[in-house]
Amino acid sequence: MESVRQPRDLDRLSRAELDRLAAEIREFLIENVSRTGGHLGPNLGVVELTIALHRVFDSPRDALIWDVGHQAYVHKLLTGRQDFEKLRCAGGVSGYPSRAESEHDIVENSHASTALSYADGVAKAFRLRGLTDRRVVGVIGDGALTGGMAWEALNNIAGGDLPVVIVVNDNERSYAPTIGGLSNHLGTLRTTQGYERFLDWGKNTLARTPYVGGAIYETLHGMKKGLKDIVAPQGMFEDLGLKYIGPIDGHDVDAVESALRRAKAFGGPVIVHVHTRKGEGYEPARADEVHQLHQVNPQTNPETGLPFQVKGTSWTDVFAEEMLKIGNDRPDVVGITAAMLIPVGLHKFAQQYPDRIYDVGIAEQHAVTSAAGLAFGGLHPVVAVYATFLNRAFDQVLMDCALHKAGVTFVLDRAGITGPDGASHHGVWDLSILQVVPGIRVAVPRDAAQVRALVREATDIDDAPTVVRFSKGSVGPEIEAVDRVDGVDILRRAAKPVNEGDLLIIATGPLAGAALAAAEELAAEGVEATVVDPRWVKPVNPALVDLARAHRAVVTVEDNGRVGGVGAAISQALQDAGVLRPTKVLGVPPEFQAHDERPAILARLGLDGPGIAAAGRVLHAQREI
């Protein structure tokens, strides 16, 4: 592996050396990703495929586009990035394609079902610029093909004659086993002897008997259309106008290379259907029947694929338990997920109520509108997705749910700063996006008790969509309220009498602990602060306006974008009520945040105790209170 520093180094390797390279890459990935955490199973499955791609195509002259980028670790290794010591850590290699890292990374896509649209655009640009000797390759998994955008792209690619090679990396999984009609169709292709292979058999085997064999082969060839539909039902792709090659054993470098060279020479849109095995070469991954170790935590035992230390209860675990209890109490409650049943915590509900769970594949738009239909039919759907993925279904939330006052509850996992997965996976947009949706109600729990309470409250609302969002990782200690005022939890009262409080800190969800730490720091300096948790952040609770009126300055804190978020809405509410107090809105600036540990990013953004205290200190100095 050390001899391969750029793709053309692969050209001089023999087949035996290629096999050795594949083995070394797997050993490298298991050792390094087990230590840093990251996507292990998907990358173990594409080793031979990636080697073949880089031997046949000339990256970056030919554009290789990965969908999604979590299967691009091998691509990174073959393009000169073999220092995985700080994979997904600050200053280290990103867990997804990164244009800042290498010219071989064309796009930084880490949301599924986008690569084919990128490929269509790049191929059109090449043609218009006269670059007719360059090829575009989109590598997309069967799971990503469940997304509607991929089919929009296929429709456009098939309608032209651009030299786009579509490699379908079919490992029968996304996060979990792929579901739906497409999966069934690909399964048929995988398990049915290919038409071309059948003709080869007729030609090479039957033809050994000169007259009979040859006649049979000619007959088979004449029956091409009917036989093709029976023996290899790839007609779905060919009816779109796409040349189909496959299925190919994705772990046979020679076979994959041969198929890719045929596709490259064709000169038009081609689908190369490659069958791979997620987690190939690593028994713990192959033994994981559901995920094949799709992603492993840092400090995982490479011998077993299990973490050395079991971390505390996660936010997702708390939701999973409460959702099961709600299902026991409410037969009208159903669950919907977009190919992430376990990651979002709906697996326990699904085990108990298999008829009340719907996995729609990577199709967030469909999930939301289907949920609206379930609500119209008298049920209460709970749509659980990562916060960053709700962005993809904004129109459906707005027009299909909110406009119709549909009683749908959205549970947003991985909300706020998520850490090592980087810019595309920070869930820092939802509280801003949802502010513009009329009638929607949004809750942000600060601890496990509030997750349970707010999910219950949300599912009790049937005349509007509701949202509950929480963080990634382990849930912290519970924070008891000292009082509750019209639904707002008072976590700490200023020591001064009423109407003489110096500062009101409005803390959103899990940042309540940091706000309390800031209040203690300020108290040591003689600045008294009241700390409150709104629990429900949209609409703005009028009690917050009254509390602000009783203080001389206000700081809002949220794990979301500052632009148009909770703090901006509170500031507007204070202005509308004529409560003109110096207000500091703390949150994430309108910049993409690079991968790093969550605490480090929060500290850098001033969203930890010292950062919040510093903001309060500035307001105190300005007001001289």
- Give the other-Cβ count within 10 Å of 205's Cβ: 12
Task: Write the pLDDT tens digit of every residue in 47-63.
Answer: 999 999 999 999 999 99
* Annotated binding-site residue? 110: yes
Structure tokens at 426: 């920070």
> Per the annotation, does 364 bind a ligand?
yes
Q: Which of 278, 414, 441, 469 is catalytic?
A: 278
Please report the pLDDT score of residue 301 as a whole number.
66
Classify domain 7-192+233-287 at the CATH topology level: Rossmann fold (3.40.50)
Encode burial over 470-506: b for 16+ CB neighbours within 10 A, e otherwise: bbbbebeeebebeeeeeebbbbbbbeeeeeebbbbbb
Q: Is the pLDDT of residue 217 over 50?
A: no
Query: Does 144 appear as a known binding residue?
Result: yes
Which two three-digit tokens encode residue 380?
């209460």
**CA distances from residue 346 to 111, 334, 369, 425 in whole angstroms, order as listed:** 21, 10, 19, 20
- Is 393 known to sit in a ligand binding site? no
**CATH class of the domain defined by 315-469:** alpha beta
User: Would the CA dihedral through 607, 610, 615, 619 be positive or negative?
Assistant: positive
Reported as a single tens digit per residue, the pLDDT across 119-132 is 999 999 999 999 98
Q: How many helices (H) and strands (E) does the chain have?
A: 25, 20
CATH number for 483-623 (one of 3.30.70.920, 3.30.2270.10, 3.40.640.10, 3.40.50.920): it is: 3.40.50.920
What's the pLDDT band for 621 if we cut at 50, 70, 90?
confident
Residues forming CATH 3.40.50.970 domain(s) in the chain: 7-192+233-287, 315-469
The answer to whether 538 is a known catalytic residue is no
- Which tops the pLDDT comparison, 89 or 291? 89
Please work out, in degrees rounded to the nearest 5, the angle formed at the alpha carbon of residue 477 by the alpha carbons of 474 and 480: 140
Q: 90 in helix, strand or coil?
A: coil
Q: How confident is the model at residue 537 (pLDDT cuts 50, 70, 90)?
A: very high
Q: In which residue ranges of the chain is CATH 3.40.50.920 found?
A: 483-623
Distance, in Å, from the CA atom of 62 to the CA atom of 261, rounded to the nearest integer, reads 13
d(CA 585, CA 293): 40
The residue from 108, 172, 280, 364 that is catalytic is 364
Cβ count near 622 (within 10 Å): 11
| Strand-strand pairing, 409-413 and 466-469 | parallel
Ramachandran angles phi, psi of 163, nearest 5°: -80, 70
The C-alpha atoms of residue 564 and residue 379 are separated, in whole angstroms, by 32
Report the interhelical angle of 148-158 vs 115-128 (nearest 10°). 30
Q: Rounded to the nearest 5°, which phi and psi values hold at 344?
A: -100, 0
Residue 364: active-site member: yes
Is 27 a residue of the active site? Answer: no
State the CB neighbour count (10 A cutoff) for residue 408: 35
pLDDT per residue over 96-111, tens digit each?
Answer: 888 888 899 888 866 8
Among 76, 135, 228, 392, the active-site one is: 392
pLDDT digits (tens, 9 = 90+) for 427-438: 999 999 999 999
pLDDT of 191 higher than 60: no
* pLDDT for res 242: 82
